[in-house]
Structure 1
């Protein structure tokens, strides 16, 4: 490992202790490295604007940072055990290429605000990706609700209750994913503040151009208080995970439905082979592994939130404990977004067995509709409830479509209102 940034030249470096302190940072920073470089370029331009760098020094540093980004993307520069973290790798690279000019890149900043701004840029992009995946899932659901609407049983307590339809099922998840996309966008606004320029949590005695750097990095606002900038680490990440978790809770419910519907006992849904795997011992099996792993994806986010919440019982200011917030956040965001990327494809590929679902709708499932009809005609509802109970033979002539038409027609309480959902989606 290269000498740490804090080494004044006379420190006794214990390699074992250094490895413990660095942890996974240099590997994890591979996901944040280009954001760190992006913020470093903005910082360099800001230093030139306050005349701490000459135009020539600025241009040399910017060229060096661009070269580093290119080498990293091509795999020619690797973040590995040579470096304590990505931040030290940037300074080491620039110093090696530019000498004393490279050593100026860290002027006016700390690794504390450096990791904050890289993480903030990362969170913005991941929340954009979250919103994109949720919008795509909603689009597929709306399309299928409109074009693939066939009767199916509706369940309460996992017992057959009333007639429902695939359109109602898809519309439910369309509305859920629209809300999730909206939440992702609101959360992006919540985290969209620039902490760069707050240094180690108490600022520096330089007139840093924080507004200019904020504009260049396209942040909505400056995070004004240096102390709050440090105190917000973990807090903002936790909110982003909560937005991701809300979407994955709906994915979990979706996956549970499909786990049931694909069983032989239900046989409502068939999954294409690419979403299943075979058994290593039972030749007759095709297992819905993708659906089951989608169902498990929320657990990764829930675990990450628990890790963050356990870390945030700290006093004001920076603590090294906060380094431990990075692994769960990156792990959960990566896994959660990978899961959501599959959801739209899965929703578009589902094949429903209309005949099987219609057979599962029994006469007694029309009882609620009949009781409501009697109440509409003036019979007190509780009396209507009693009249209908057990009188299943009277309901045998009804069809699922008749029941659905009565409840989902325009103005009905279960009207799918796909036009309204499309408008909400378009306004995101």
Structure 2
């Protein structure tokens, strides 16, 4: 490992202690080192605006930062255990290339605001990806709701309940993922605040151009209080993970439906072959492994959320405990966005088994319709309920499509409101 930024003369660094202190920061920082480079260039230009750097020094720093960015992309530079973390790697590279000019980059800056701004830029991008995936999923669901109004059994308590339709099923998940897209945008907008220039949490004795760096980095506003910048670390990450978790909860319920619907006992859905796997011992099996792992995704996100929350049992100011927020955050979004990216094509490719759907109805599923019809004639509903329960319907009178056509309440099968959902999706 290269010389540590904070190492004091005469102090021997114990490699075991340092290995524990650094943890897996070098590996984790690969995730957002490009954001750290972007923020470093903005900081350099800000220092030039207040006379700390000359124009030439600023140009040299920004040029070398750009070169480092390209070297990282090409693999010519690798963030590895030569460095304590990504921040020290950037500074080491600048000093190697520019000498004393490189040593000026950290003026007025702490690793605290470095990691805050890099995390904030990274989160904004990831929440944008989440919003886009939720919108794409909602769009697929709406397209299929518009195209496939097939009668389908509806369940409560996993027992046959009432007549439903595939269009209603699709519309339900379309609205869910529209809301999830809105939630992702709200989280994005809430954390869209620039912490660069807050240093270690108490500001610095320099007239830093924080408004200038806010505009350059594309933040909506400046995070004003340096103390709040530290208080928000972990808190903002939890907000982002909560938005991801909201989508993953709906993903879990959708995956549960598909897990059930693909069983031989239901047989409602056929998955594309590439979304199933074979058994290692049973030649007859095709297993919905992908769907099951989609279902499991929320567990990873919830675990990361819990880790973040537990780390925040701290007083104000920076504490090294917060180093562990990065791993939890990156794991949650890595697993969550990876799962969400597979969902739209899965939904495009699944096929309904109309024959098995038709066999899923029984006479009792029309009892609610019958009770409502009797209530329409003036019979108190509670009495109609009793009569419908006591008088089983003849099979000849059971017509799933007629039941659906009569379901005129807003959102029901005869009034799905798909145009309203489409309008919400377009507005988002």
Post-superposition shift, 1:410? 7.0
Aligned twin of 1:289: 289
CA–CA distance in structure 2, aligned partners of residues 379 and 390 of structure 1: 15
Matched residue of 2:152: which SS?
Answer: strand
Aligned twin of 1:250: 250
Aligned twin of 1:116: 116
CA–CA distance in structure 1, aligned partners of residues 225 and 410 of structure 2: 53
**Do the aligned partners of 1:45 and 1:58 also contact (CA within 8 Å) in 2?**
yes
> Deviations for 1:295-350, whole angstroms, at most 9, x for unmatched residues?
00000110001101111010000000000111010011111000000111111111
More off after superposition, 361-370 vs 408-417: 408-417
More off after superposition, 6-15 vs 177-186: 6-15
**Do the aligned partners of 1:367 and 1:395 also contact (CA within 8 Å) in 2?**
no
Matched residue of 1:164: which SS?
Answer: strand
Aligned twin of 1:306: 306
Alignment of 1:230-241 (within 5 A): 230-241=230-241
CA–CA distance in structure 2, aligned partners of residues 390 and 135 of structure 1: 46
Post-superposition shift, 1:358? 1.1
Runs of 5+ consecutive residues of structure 2 not aligned to the other structure: none
Aligned twin of 2:201: 201
**Do the aligned partners of 1:44 and 1:58 also contact (CA within 8 Å) in 2?**
yes
Alignment of 1:210-221 (within 5 A): 210-221=210-221
Post-superposition shift, 1:12? 1.2
Post-superposition shift, 1:115? 0.2
Aligned twin of 1:270: 270
Post-superposition shift, 1:10? 3.0
Matched residue of 2:329: which SS?
Answer: helix
**Do the aligned partners of 2:39 and 2:117 also contact (CA within 8 Å) in 1?**
yes
Alignment of 1:9-408 (within 5 A): 9-394=9-394, 396-408=396-408
> Deviations for 1:37-93, whole angstroms, at most 9, x for unmatched residues?
000010010000001000000000000000000000111111110000000000000
Post-superposition shift, 1:383? 1.1
CA–CA distance in structure 1, aligned partners of residues 124 and 327 of structure 2: 18
Post-superposition shift, 1:395? 5.5
**Do the aligned partners of 1:123 and 1:240 also contact (CA within 8 Å) in 2?**
yes
CA–CA distance in structure 1, aligned partners of residues 167 and 411 of structure 2: 16
Post-superposition shift, 1:368? 0.2
Post-superposition shift, 1:408? 4.5
Matched residue of 1:258: which SS?
Answer: helix
Matched residue of 1:206: which SS?
Answer: coil
Post-superposition shift, 1:402? 0.4
Post-superposition shift, 1:271? 0.6
More off after superposition, 297-306 vs 403-412: 403-412
Post-superposition shift, 1:412? 5.6
**Root mean square deviation of aligned Cα:** 1.2
> Deviations for 1:117-167, whole angstroms, at most 9, x for unmatched residues?
000000100000000000000000000000022011000000000010110
CA–CA distance in structure 1, aligned partners of residues 6 and 165 of structure 2: 64
Matched residue of 2:154: which SS?
Answer: strand
CA–CA distance in structure 2, aligned partners of residues 111 and 174 of structure 1: 42
CA–CA distance in structure 2, aligned partners of residues 119 and 311 of structure 1: 17
CA–CA distance in structure 2, aligned partners of residues 354 and 398 of structure 1: 17
CA–CA distance in structure 2, aligned partners of residues 183 and 410 of structure 1: 24
**Do the aligned partners of 1:364 and 1:395 also contact (CA within 8 Å) in 2?**
no
CA–CA distance in structure 1, aligned partners of residues 212 and 228 of structure 2: 20
Post-superposition shift, 1:364? 1.4
Q: TM-score, normalised by structure 1?
A: 0.98
CA–CA distance in structure 2, aligned partners of residues 33 and 141 of structure 1: 37
Post-superposition shift, 1:355? 1.5
CA–CA distance in structure 2, aligned partners of residues 422 and 236 of structure 1: 31
CA–CA distance in structure 2, aligned partners of residues 268 and 403 of structure 1: 20
